[in-house]
A and B are shown apart, each in its own frame.
Chain A
Amino acid sequence: MLVTNIEILPDKQIVEHLGLVQGSSVRAKHVGRDIMAGLKNIFGGELKGYTELLQESRAEAMERMIEQAEAVGANAVLNVRFSTSSVAAGAAELFAYGTAVVLE
């Protein structure tokens, strides 16, 4: 499965467009991590726990998107975009979407 965020690939022709595929993941913060983050809010600096948490959930959103693309019979997802929104206090939704296509 080829995943990119450009619209056309230099050496490959698109045979078929299969429409939009998407994947999302909503994650809440961990209490332990939250306490650490509270301390970091005094000293400043990177919140490694949050960085990891968001990376994991973004990877999960991508996986779900790829699963959906596989289900419709695509072999590539082009023009992938990410978006983040906070659904409730303490929870974030990570969303990935792109166009499923069949490349030759």
Chain B
Amino acid sequence: MIDLIILVTLLALGYGFGSYAESRHYKSIIARENRLRHIPAVTSRFPPMNNNSREAELVSGSVVISVDYFKRFIAALRNLVGGRVTSYESLVDRARREAILRMKAQAEQLNADIVFNVKLETSSIHKGRGNSIGSVEVLAYGTALKTQQ
């Protein structure tokens, strides 16, 4: 009985705090994406050769985000029947967008115009109970190019 109460409490806490944190995070992501739109991050490997007065520097951004208890529970249930695990989809989406934003913020500090050859790397660093993914780390890195004044 006590176990059941603990489980329900954890689920309620996870659901409450988790969805609040997620909606707040999405709001902040969208606001910052709009602000940093003037620095495009592109995946093409070669910079344009016509402009010969450019300076290059490596920029990177990383973030570790954890999923809440409720979503992990839902994902475990989803494992029984298969299909899309939407609770983890939003986790990795948030982590990637956040990592790209941090990389862009670094590029902005360097007064860069564009970030080239952006690469994303995802790794799960913490395994929760029952081998479920507890948290993911996303690293975004690229080369910031700036026009020399």
Contact = CB atoms under 8 A, between A and B. Distances in A.
Contacts of A68: none
A84 B117 contact: no
B139 A86 contact: no
Contact of B56 (A9, A42, A58, A83): A9
B51 A5 contact: no
In this complex, the interface size class of chain A, counting residues with CB under 8 Å from chain B, is: 20 to 34
Interface centre among B49, B57, B121, B135 (most CB of A within 10 A): B135
Given A41-B135, A43-B14, A92-B125, A10 B49 contact: yes
B63 A51 contact: yes
B137 A10 contact: no
B69 interface: yes
A50 B64 contact: yes
Interface in A49-98: 50-51, 54-55, 58, 80-86, 89, 92
A46 interface: yes
Interface in A8-26: 8-11
A43 B143 contact: no
Given A6-B47, A7-B46, A44-B21, A37 B119 contact: no
B14 A42 contact: yes
Interface of A: 2-11, 37, 40-47, 50-51, 54-55, 58, 80-86, 89, 92
Interface of B: 10, 13-14, 17-18, 21-22, 25, 45-49, 51-54, 56-58, 60, 62-69, 71-72, 98, 116-117, 119, 121, 123, 125-128, 134-135, 137, 139, 141-143
